Amino acid sequence: MLTNKYYENFITANEGIVNRRQLLKDIIETEEKTGVELLDWEEVQLSIFLQGSVSTAGVSKNFVVLKKFADFICKQENLPKRVYTFEQESLLDYVDKDSLKARTLSYAQYIDIKNQFNMEDLKTGERINTRNSVIFELAWTGLTNEEITNLKEEDIEFIGDIAILTLGERIVRLEDTEIIENVKLCMKETYYMVLNKTGFYNKYNYRDSEYLIKPANVGRSKDGNIKSMSIAFSNILRNYDVKCEGVNIEELCLNDIRRSKMIYMLAPENEEMFDMDTIMGIFNLRSASSLLWLKEIAKEIYPV
Amino acid sequence: MQEKIKLLTNLLTTSTLQKNQIMNKIVQTIQRTEDISKAKVLKERIMNGNFSRITEGTIDDLIKAFSPVVESKVFEKQERVIKINTNQEMNSNKDLNMEFRIKELEELLAESESKAKEELEKRLQAESLMLDLMCKLNINDRFELVTVTEEEIQKKYTDFLIGDSIQVDLSLLNKIILKEYYKIK
């Protein structure tokens, strides 16, 4: 198959595409399942391949990678470009709704998981590892992985009962007193405790850093912030053995937390309280198109 | 539902809290079941007397949150009456408290004696096992008697408690520290 022939070349030539290896493997798997090679795909094969994403953006992204790979093969083989068509309006049909719902938190589930991050030093009674709570809470507030990673302490201003976060050109207001308290504790925190396999806790000092979420001072790296916030969050969920009924904890990521809050605000019962402009502002969205499909999902998750 | 709204309105208007305190309390109560962004919007509506989007569960929570303020004032009044009128009762209350305290301390003492007895039994058992082992191993000049000092025991416990120890120390887990043991030279 041509896909196997050009697999490695495409991978090497497209380092900027995240998750490209898995996507190409999915393409090859679909070819094997349907018995049809990529350059001969019609809508049937496209549907099978595109099923499984938890967002319309994910579906679009996968389609773009597929087209790029097909163009790459055509160029190498001196073939005319293959044109793929499918209905943009039916993006929602390709979203794996069951998987999405299992990765969407209601407010009660958010509180349940938030409480599981609360940890105290048994000797002093002080809160420890507040960094974990802050990562989770900031995602719920609407910050992206990148914004949480790059948030510096100097970008946080406490005024009365609120905190103002300056994220480049974007300003975010924190009004939840518990989150504000956790941010303050996180700024003062100097070490992190990790449960090891023998059942004891290891203590790691944080690296000296201007960032709010600091990495532990291990290894040779001198970076002041965490390289991959999504991996860090997965490790936290595993280390704390977090459980929540109805939630697929193994697949849960920070994007899911952020999306959960969007869906909560789009619930029919909250329609009067939060208009599209407000939600776009909170989540820094350029257009409302991504909210339209989430609104449909919200109707199913929060039925009237 | 209308009666509950009436009761809540009444509690809010008769509350002795300042307006800011009332608003904060409303937000904190609603925040137990709704995100703060929604809690603040609902607070504004409630303060304006608009209960149209407020669920019955939220109203029940708010009634519960604002009810104790009125009840505790009534309770305080009763307490003051007791203090002024019955000095004799206060004295006999002191005696009762003293008796209760003595009983508590006696129970604590019995508990710590029983624990000490348990520890002693464990230690005797461990020593007897040690003697058996010595006979089986035929302890002679190949073995050296090691005495563990109090400082060493203290350090072991401290390391265990703060989690710096990465080895599973069976003697610590069984809460038995042998003061002497034989080691092969």
Predicted confidence at residue B73, as pLDDT, reads 46
Q: Which 8-state DSSP code applies to residue A59?
A: H
Residue A186 · residue A134 · CB < 8 Å:
yes
Distance (Å, rounded) from C-alpha A172 to C-alpha B104? 55
Residue A86 · residue A67 · CB < 8 Å:
no
Look at phi and psi of residue A89 and say left if phi exceeds 0, alpha if psi is from -120 to 50, else beta.
alpha
Interface membership of B38 toward A (CB under 8 Å): yes
**pLDDT mean values, one per 10 residues, chain B (185 residues):** 90 89 93 93 92 89 80 42 40 63 78 82 79 68 73 73 56 59 67
Q: How confident is the model at residue A165 (pLDDT cuts 50, 70, 90)?
A: very high
Helices (H), A35-176: 43-50, 56-76, 91-94, 97-102, 107-116, 130-141, 145-150
Q: Which of A61-70, A119-128, A253-262 has the lowest mean pLDDT?
A: A119-128
Percent above pLDDT 70 for chain A: 98
Residue B166: closest C-alpha in chain A: A200
Q: Looking at this protein, which amino acid is placed at residue A45?
A: Q
Tell me the pLDDT tens digit for each residue of A58-112: 888 888 899 999 999 999 999 998 888 766 566 777 888 889 999 999 999 999 9
- Mean pLDDT (chain A, rounded): 90
Residue B119's closest CA among B179, B176, B180?
B176
Predicted confidence at residue A286, as pLDDT, reads 85
Distance (Å, rounded) from C-alpha B181 to C-alpha B159? 21
The distance of A53 to chain B (nearest Cα, Å) reads: 27
The distance of A194 to chain B (nearest Cα, Å) reads: 10
Nearest-5° Cα angle at A188, A163 to A249: 75
Predicted confidence at residue B83, as pLDDT, reads 35
Residue A11: Cβ-neighbour burial (10 angstroms; 0-12, 13-18, 19+): middle
- Tokens, residue A218: 């291990």
Per-residue pLDDT at A292 exceeds 90 = no
Residue A260 has phi, psi (to 5 degrees) of -60, -40
Residues of A within 8 A of B37 (CB-CB) are 175, 265, 274, 282
Interface membership of B120 toward A (CB under 8 Å): no
Predicted confidence at residue B82, as pLDDT, reads 34
Helices (H), chain B: 2-14, 19-30, 36-47, 56-85, 87-137, 150-162, 170-173
Predicted confidence at residue B87, as pLDDT, reads 46
Q: Residues A46-61, buried b or exposed e (16+ Cβ, 10 A)? A: bebbbeebbbbebbeb
Predicted confidence at residue B185, as pLDDT, reads 63
Tell me the pLDDT tens digit for each residue of A272-283: 899 999 999 999
- Tokens, residue A270: 């909250």
| pTM for the full predicted model | 0.69
β pairing state of A191-195 and A170-174:
unpaired
Tell me the pLDDT tens digit for each residue of A175-185: 999 999 999 99
Tell me the pLDDT tens digit for each residue of A190-229: 999 888 778 788 889 999 999 999 998 888 878 888 988 9
Distance (Å, rounded) from C-alpha B48 to C-alpha B51? 9
Residue A273's closest CA among B54, B47, B57?
B54
Q: Which of B35, B161, B166 to mutate to test the interface with A (most CBs of A within 10 A)?
A: B35
Bridge partners, residue A172, by sequence: A165
Residue B143 has phi, psi (to 5 degrees) of -110, 145
β pairing state of A156-159 and A162-167:
antiparallel
Predicted confidence at residue A138, as pLDDT, reads 97
Residues of B within 8 A of A261 (CB-CB) are 35
- Tokens, residue B173: 């887990």
